[in-house]
Amino acid sequence: MKDLDEREERKDALKGLGCSRKRVEDARFTQGKGNYIDDVNLPGMLHGDFVRSPYAHARVVSIDTSAAMALDGVVAVLTAKDLEPLGLHWMPTLAGDKQMVLADGKVLFQGQEVAFVVAKDRYIAADAVELVEVEYEDLPVLVNPFEALKSDVVLREDIKDEKEGAHGARKHHNHIFTWEEGDKEATEQAIGAAEVVAEEMVYYHRTHPCPLEPCGSVASMDKVNGKLTLWGTFQAPHVVRTVASLLSGIEEHNIRVISPDIGGGFGNKVGVYPGYVCSIVASIVTGVPVKWIEDRMDNLMATAFARDYWMKGRISATKEGKITGLDVHVTADHGAFDACADPTKFPAGFFHIVTGSYDIPVAHVAVDGVYTNKAPGGVAYRCSFRVTEAAYCIERMIEVLAIELGMDAAELRRINFIKKDQFPYQSALGWEYDSGDYHTAWDKALKAVDYEGLRKEQAQMLEDFKAGKSRKLLGIGLTHFTEIVGAGPVKNCDILGMGMFDSCEIRIHPTGSAIARLGTISQGQGHATTFAQILASEIGLPADSITIEEGDTDTAPYGLGTYGSRSTPVAGAATAMAGRKIRAKAQMIAAYLLEVHDDDVEWDVDRFAVKGAPERFKTMKDIAYAAYNQAIPGVEPGLEAVSYYDPPNMTYPFGAYICVMEIDVDTGEHKIRQFYALDDCGTRINPMVIDGQVHGGVTEALAIAMGQEIAYDEMGNCKTGTLMDFFLPTAVEVPNYQTDHTVTPSPHHPIGAKGVGESPNVGGVPAFSNAVHDAFRPFGLRQSHMPHDHWRIWKIAQTLGLHD
Ligand code: PCD
């Protein structure tokens, strides 16, 4: 017993896996000591700002920069003409398309970059932007993807005759690609022969990640030594270095990319934006550092978007509710350029996780990408490449099927869940789900909220409503989601040809402390805290003695970066593997010091001890010192390791979310009475960090489902370009969250961990939306498009004839 206690004490002292260790980065962040991109200030630095198009579609007749150039303090005004000789007036996108860096003859969306003004300070730059005179000739505008596919208006004149795009055949001049997965014929057969079929158009509206810190970069070209240093809001700094080298011709060793602290990424900082390119060119041209920081309107209107998926679903089942087939056709509005941030081979991301948590024998999906006069992007706003769209689609289709069957939606889910003993599970659309135990999670969730009790209360409230005693309805929003996170493996996933592995390099110092560097980059997730915990458990040094560093390509090993919840599944695995290499060498050193054979020592929390004689041991701290001060035959000095990890599969976290919402039929206002979120992300590294991730992610889900939207009028004017119109929830709107968990480890991850950062958004959005729909189910509501703001909820009630 004493031994056990003593071992537990040693374990606790490490603050390793499972410890709710306080976030070490917060001391800095909460004291205003963060170092964000706008904190990077270099001697002689100039500032850039964009002239942006007021039109959504127009020809650029002329650009007159003379008045701007005449303003005191203006150094340069760049247009496409200046970039053309360098071949930089267009740039490749992550999706295999190309995008104008600065308007080349025409503009294709409101807010598009037309000219780049470089001046002594940001204020002069902004003044000079007003002085650039651009003559436009407006062209017909297409904001609806269905109309764009029929229209004679050619948006992308540069490729109008190209019949093939990066992802195969193009059917129309405004069509980008068709992408398909699954067995079409078998699915049609199943649906054709089914006893019950539910069909619905599910729209997931256009929105935006809107991180508190917008995007920006500082480029510094040192003409003496030929080195370019680029600081920026990059979720994938190494990839930026490679792309910058390929584009500019500067050799990669002469480029250093640094992501400083990042004030929220949420997918917004994965893509490459014209501002980055222009700051580099401007620094090369002027020979001094150039900073570009966008403002809120720039960010909302031009720098990426998310979703905008029109999903036509058909789901079939037996009378008893066993699902027999699923077909989904998506019309995907990609805006002016296809700049979707997805692994190269997946133009619709991982949308084919759309069969969700259910054992569906046959399925088929097809996605058509379409150009419109809207901002480009298509970023994975808190989701792994279109997983949130997929989860929303299937979780809405399940609800609609339940209506069709006259069944309880919780029961319908239970009947169709993939069973525990079916894992690893091969989905009809080609994925291999690594592990899961959906029934256990579901039962736990239903019990936690007293599901039966809630249904009774709901029925009572409905009766009172019908009897004229109350004007409130209750909605119970159910969701069971399955995520897919942790891209690679390299054989399936790459970005611009770079395989999606990740990495960790560890150096143990002589006194038993360490530094570990990773190919990922935290944007607020707390990597400095949690990666040290993985190492603490692997190598037996306290997490408090381990520094984690990310984001500097001159020092960190190559990695593909942080998005798609891939840091834990991929870089986290690399960290554990690098730790194991350290331990393997430490074992040899310990055996030497203890004068026994390597096989005669065993690992015990923070030390190697002689088997059968635990009082004879060497701690990792002793071993670290010995690695540097002893000449050990056959063993090199030092204690370092690096691991590049190519994951064998992705990880499949899952969860059960339930939202209980009261709706005021007369005002359309809603009140979230309870929000229960059960997450299963396998082995939990830091439960407190996970809770924080869930709180943040559900809050973003609340925003998206209940009000947040990037909306355009028919002229292509962006109506939501400021935070007056774009809903960003504050403490006022945010309910109390109840978090819970089950633990089903990933069988292939070295520590059994799956990602979690995105799950709350993936599960949250359908939970909120289903609650709204559920409240009106008794009155015949099947599908109503998000966001469910008060006006739209009021409108539902109005349409259903619930207002007198
Ligand atoms: N964890 C733990 N455990 C487990 C898992 C996890 O603990 N099992 C934790 C970690 O460590 C970290 C976190 O948690 O810290 C997270 O994780 P993950 O899931 O792995 O993820 P990552 O990769 O790291 O990250 C990413 C994510 C994303 S994707 C997003 S959107 C978002 C999230 O993350 N973002 C953000 N979250 C967050 N938070 C914050 N604060 N900020 C931010 O920005 Mo994308 O695709 O990009 O869209």
Three-class SS of 245-272: HHHHCCCHHHEEEECCCCCCCCCCCCCC
* Count of beta carbons in the 10 Å neighbourhood of residue 768: 28
Whose CA is closest to atom 38 on ligand 1?
A: 525
Task: Report the atom number in ligand 1 closest to the C-alpha of 269.
Answer: 47
Whose CA is closest to atom 25 on ligand 1?
A: 565
Mean pLDDT, range 79-97, rounded to an integer: 95
Task: Report the atom number in ligand 1 closest to the C-alpha of 759.
Answer: 19
98 pLDDT higher than 80: yes
Helix (H), strand (E) at residue 583: helix 573-594
Whose CA is closest to atom 14 on ligand 1?
A: 690
Mean pLDDT, range 776-782, rounded to an integer: 98
Q: Provide, rounded to the nearest whole percent, the portion of the chain with pLDDT above 70.
A: 100
Does residue 679 contact residue 445 with C-beta atoms inside 8 Å?
no
From the CA of 639, how far away is ligand 1's center (Å)?
Answer: 30
Whose CA is closest to atom 12 on ligand 1?
A: 525
Q: Mean pLDDT over all residues of the chain?
A: 97
Residue keyed to tokens 């729209």: 203
Task: Report the atom number in ligand 1 closest to the C-alpha of 567.
Answer: 23
- Asked whether 746 lines ligand 1 (CB < 6 A), one says no
- Asked whether 47 lines ligand 1 (CB < 6 A), one says no
Whose CA is closest to atom 36 on ligand 1?
A: 266
Strands 216-222 and 670-680: unpaired
Q: Which of 568, 739, 743, 759 has the most ligand 1 atoms within 8 A of CB, as the residue to mutate?
A: 568
Angle, CA of 656, 660 and 665, to the nearest 5°: 145
C-alpha 621/C-alpha 63 separation (Å) is 66
Mean pLDDT, range 166-177, rounded to an integer: 97
C-alpha 688/C-alpha 24 separation (Å) is 13
Whose CA is closest to atom 5 on ligand 1?
A: 755
- Asked whether 707 lines ligand 1 (CB < 6 A), one says no
Whose CA is closest to atom 8 on ligand 1?
A: 684
For 739-770, how does the pLDDT look when each residue is reduced to its tens digit (9 = 90+)?
999 999 999 999 999 999 999 999 999 999 99
pTM: predicted TM-score of the whole model, two decimal places = 0.98
Q: Which of 693, 699, 754, 759 has the most ligand 1 atoms within 8 A of CB, as the residue to mutate?
A: 693
The angle, 0 to 180 degrees and rounded to 10, between the axes of the packed helices 438-448 and 409-416 is 160
- Asked whether 381 lines ligand 1 (CB < 6 A), one says yes
C-alpha 324/C-alpha 219 separation (Å) is 56
C-alpha 58/C-alpha 733 separation (Å) is 40
For 507-539, how does the pLDDT look when each residue is reduced to its tens digit (9 = 90+)?
999 999 999 999 999 999 999 999 999 999 999
Does residue 628 contact residue 617 with C-beta atoms inside 8 Å?
no
- Asked whether 523 lines ligand 1 (CB < 6 A), one says yes
- Asked whether 721 lines ligand 1 (CB < 6 A), one says no
- Asked whether 565 lines ligand 1 (CB < 6 A), one says yes
From the CA of 459, how far away is ligand 1's center (Å)?
Answer: 39
- Asked whether 524 lines ligand 1 (CB < 6 A), one says yes
Whose CA is closest to atom 2 on ligand 1?
A: 685
For 209-254, how does the pLDDT look when each residue is reduced to its tens digit (9 = 90+)?
999 999 999 999 999 999 999 999 999 999 999 999 998 899 999 9
Length of the chain: 804
From the CA of 35, how far away is ligand 1's center (Å)?
Answer: 20
- Asked whether 264 lines ligand 1 (CB < 6 A), one says yes
Q: What is the pLDDT confidence band of residue 2, given thresholds at 50, 70 and 90?
A: confident
Q: ipTM > 0.85? A: yes
C-alpha 83/C-alpha 251 separation (Å) is 20
Q: Which of 565, 688, 749 has the most ligand 1 atoms within 8 A of CB, as the residue to mutate?
A: 565
Angle, CA of 121, 124 and 127, to the nearest 5°: 150
* pLDDT score of 804: 80
C-alpha 484/C-alpha 479 separation (Å) is 16
For 378-429, how does the pLDDT look when each residue is reduced to its tens digit (9 = 90+)?
999 999 999 999 999 999 999 999 999 999 999 999 999 999 999 999 999 9
1 pLDDT higher than 70: no
Whose CA is closest to atom 32 on ligand 1?
A: 266
From the CA of 346, how far away is ligand 1's center (Å)?
Answer: 22
Mean pLDDT, range 149-154, rounded to an integer: 98
* pLDDT score of 785: 97
Task: Report the atom number in ligand 1 closest to the C-alpha of 682.
Answer: 8
**How far from the centroid of its chain's Cα atoms is residue 634's Cα?**
46
Which tokens sit at 612?
């059968």
Does residue 519 contact residue 238 with C-beta atoms inside 8 Å?
yes
C-alpha 413/C-alpha 112 separation (Å) is 45
- Asked whether 55 lines ligand 1 (CB < 6 A), one says no
- Asked whether 282 lines ligand 1 (CB < 6 A), one says no
Residues labelled catalytic: 235, 382-383, 758
Residue keyed to tokens 């789901």: 315
From the CA of 525, how far away is ligand 1's center (Å)?
Answer: 5
Mean pLDDT, range 352-379, rounded to an integer: 98
Q: What is the pLDDT confidence band of residue 134, given thresholds at 50, 70 and 90?
A: very high
Mean pLDDT, range 722-729, rounded to an integer: 96
- Asked whether 696 lines ligand 1 (CB < 6 A), one says yes
Whose CA is closest to atom 43 on ligand 1?
A: 264
* pLDDT score of 247: 87
From the CA of 291, how far away is ligand 1's center (Å)?
Answer: 28
Mean pLDDT, range 779-795, rounded to an integer: 98
